[in-house]
């Protein structure tokens, strides 16, 4: 920040102060749920109530400080504001960080693993959000980060004594990742401020900036192509662990937090998929299929996917389909992803009212539309709305406002399919985003490209009976595999390499299903290990499970008839695959027969 003017540094302080004050203000209200949960476990909540009272007093104090800060910004020069308020904001960051860590200290060793897990995940989410929005002034975020996450990690042997070995490792790795992400975000804010301050010389530097952006895009695409497997691993493991906890859970008070956690993981999955899809499109790795697609099925599936989220926010999510079948010529997966992103975007920017998904015939095309009653898009911003990483001024005040990837992915998909797309919006009244796809005159039954989604649910899946061998070299992911499989009643053995897998077989284990990752740390090919295991166990079924989206080996495996599943794999999808090779337990089968008889 040293090369920025005082005005630029003061504007960065404005952004940091807003985020810090907001985070500290909502903390006591979010903490009330944990206090109630702690009380229901029969624990003494006296000290937690004292801390809650202190936080509420702090919220009132923050309101006063906000008024003084705004008054000073209006009357004092930027240098004076920085000299006066930067130390104050840093002290607030320290107090907020230690205040959050104190909750972990007060509950350590007194709660269940589920309580500790949800508390730690909540803190991780808070750190992640602040690592993006609180970093314009690096010193503020660094103090908050060290004072909050540092003590939380150090106390993990006491907070999760039975699992602290791998939880501590996850905490350290997460801390390193958030530290690096915070540095990246800080540099981004500083760079944006520098670009604004240097706007007079922007025309001269345009060509060099364009070349740098293109190189950065190529580097990013190359990185995502090679590292997508490792990036998908945590999301894959989190989905399995949530389902395993939900399957074992008998406490109804946990259903709400688990659903919220599952919704958060789904949001991460949507954002990550959009990023990867956009990178594949930019790299020219996506070739659109031109097959008949039934829009009615897709629009119903997407509405089902987002129904619970809309209801939880008091929004009305409706669909309107045509009287006759809306069949277009296009790529079902791309159309589906476009509609998911448009719906997600509409719900995000609609504080009240509702969202409508509709299909209408227009001349020789079908219009796929998403209407909302949200904040709308200002006229001067509409030309940039489909640009990658673009976010309008309103979005910076929303924690869940994404990273400006969804609409960019829609635009790229439409161009690949040679479809029309656009936006009509009135600021303050709402927006209409649309795709125009060529209509098909006739449709042969059974030839639509629409594929139904598996909606995420906490419903316990039918227990299975059988054995499964999993080859995955990531110990945390292997732990998630084992936890979920055991919750379903499956006897499971995990191995990190081909040698370990064959050692398991020599020990007498006979798997009915074999699931193998492609990228193994030992350097061996997962597909070659998988083929050798199937040859050794001819009666077993199996599939490759990988996070790599552009692997020639896996593409060839699919062409050869092998089943390839992509991470992050949803538990219902995994359950459906395993059901081909494993039998439901006798109790589950009897329940199914009773239900059929009734």
Checking phi first, is residue 389 left (phi over 0); if not, alpha (psi -120 to 50) or beta?
left
pLDDT tens-digit readout, 283-296: 555 566 677 888 88
Strand ranges (E), 145-302: 291-294
User: Which range, of 465-469, 575-579, 585-589, averages the lowest pLDDT?
Assistant: 585-589
105-154 confidence digits (pLDDT tens): 888 888 888 888 888 888 888 888 888 888 889 999 999 999 999 998 99
What's the confidence (pLDDT) of residue 494? 93
pLDDT tens digit string along 483-493?
Answer: 888 888 999 99
State pLDDT tens for residues 189-233.
888 888 777 764 555 666 666 677 667 666 666 666 555 556 666
The residues facing 421 across adjacent strands are 435
DSSP calls for 515-564: EE-SB-TTS-BHHHHHHHHHHH-TT-EEEEEE--SS-HHHHHHHHTT--E
Q: How far is CA 140 from CA 86, 125, 134, 260, 549, in A?
A: 8, 18, 7, 29, 38
Instruction: Specify the pLDDT at position 456.
Output: 42
The reported pLDDT for the residue numbered 271 is: 57
What pLDDT does residue 501 have? Answer: 93
Pairwise pLDDT comparison (278 vs 384), residue with the higher score:
384
Most confident listed range (159-163, 490-494, 582-586): 490-494
pTM of the model: 0.40
E strands in 458-540: 464-471, 490-495, 513-516
């Amino acid at each position: 920040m040293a090369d920025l003017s005082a005005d630029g540094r003061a504007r960065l302080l404005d952004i940091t102060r807003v985020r810090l004050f907001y985070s500290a203000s909502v903390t006591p209200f979010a903490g009330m749920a944990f206090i109630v949960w702690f009380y229901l476990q029969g624990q003494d909540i006296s000290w937690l109530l004292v801390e809650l009272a202190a936080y509420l007093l702090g919220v009132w104090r923050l309101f006063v400080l906000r008024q003084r800060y705004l008054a000073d910004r209006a009357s004092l020069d930027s240098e004076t504001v920085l000299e006066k308020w930067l130390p104050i904001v840093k002290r607030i960051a320290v107090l907020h960080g230690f205040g959050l860590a104190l909750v972990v200290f007060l509950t350590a060793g007194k709660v269940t693993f589920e309580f500790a897990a949800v508390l730690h995940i909540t803190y991780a989410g808070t750190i992640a959000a602040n690592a993006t929005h609180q970093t314009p002034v690096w010193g503020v975020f660094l103090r908050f980060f060290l004072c909050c996450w540092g003590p939380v990690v150090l106390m993990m042997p006491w907070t999760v004594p039975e699992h602290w070995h791998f939880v501590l490792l996850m905490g350290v790795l997460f801390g390193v990742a958030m530290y690096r992400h915070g540095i990246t975000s800080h540099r981004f804010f500083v760079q944006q401020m520098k670009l604004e301050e240097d706007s007079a010389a922007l025309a001269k530097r345009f060509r060099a900036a364009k070349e740098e952006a293109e190189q950065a895009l190529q580097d990013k695409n190359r990185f995502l192509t090679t590292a997508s497997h490792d990036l998908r691993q945590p999301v894959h493991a989190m989905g399995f662990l949530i389902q395993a906890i939900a399957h074992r859970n008998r406490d109804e008070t946990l259903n709400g937090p688990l659903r919220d956690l599952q919704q958060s993981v789904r949001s991460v999955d949507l954002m990550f998929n959009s990023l990867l899809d956009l990178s594949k499109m930019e790299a020219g790795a996506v070739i659109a299929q031109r097959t008949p697609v039934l829009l009615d099925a897709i629009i119903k599936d997407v509405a089902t996917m987002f129904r619970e989220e809309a209801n939880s926010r008091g929004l009305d999510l409706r669909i309107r389909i045509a009287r006759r079948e809306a069949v277009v010529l296009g790529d079902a997966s791309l159309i589906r992803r476009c509609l998911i992103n448009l719906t997600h975007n509409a719900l995000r920017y609609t504080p009240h009212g509702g969202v409508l998904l509709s299909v209408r015939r227009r001349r020789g095309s079908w219009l796929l539309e998403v209407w909302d009653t949200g904040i709308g898009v200002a006229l001067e911003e509409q030309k940039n709305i489909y640009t990658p990483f673009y976010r309008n001024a309103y979005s910076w005040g929303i924690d869940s406002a994404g990273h400006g990837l969804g609409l960019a992915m829609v635009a790229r998909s439409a161009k690949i399919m040679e479809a029309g797309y656009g936006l009509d919006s009135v600021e303050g009244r709402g927006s209409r985003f649309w795709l125009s796809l060529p209509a098909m005159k006739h449709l042969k039954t059974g030839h639509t490209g629409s594929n139904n989604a598996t909606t995420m649910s906490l419903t316990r899946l039918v227990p299975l009976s059988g054995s499964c061998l999993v080859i995955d070299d990531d110990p945390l992911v292997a732990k998630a595999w084992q936890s979920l499989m055991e919750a379903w009643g499956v006897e499971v053995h995990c191995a990190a390499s081909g040698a370990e897998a064959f050692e398991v077989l020599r020990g007498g284990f006979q798997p009915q299903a074999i699931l193998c990752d492609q990228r193994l740390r030992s350097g061996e090919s997962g597909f070659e290990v998988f083929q050798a295991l199937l040859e050794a166990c001819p009666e077993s079924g199996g599939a490759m499970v990988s996070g790599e989206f552009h692997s020639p080996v896996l593409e060839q495996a699919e062409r050869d008839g092998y089943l390839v599943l992509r991470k992050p794999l949803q538990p219902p999808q995994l359950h459906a695959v395993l059901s081909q090779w494993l039998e439901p337990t006798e109790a589950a089968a009897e329940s199914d027969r009773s239900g059929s008889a009734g």
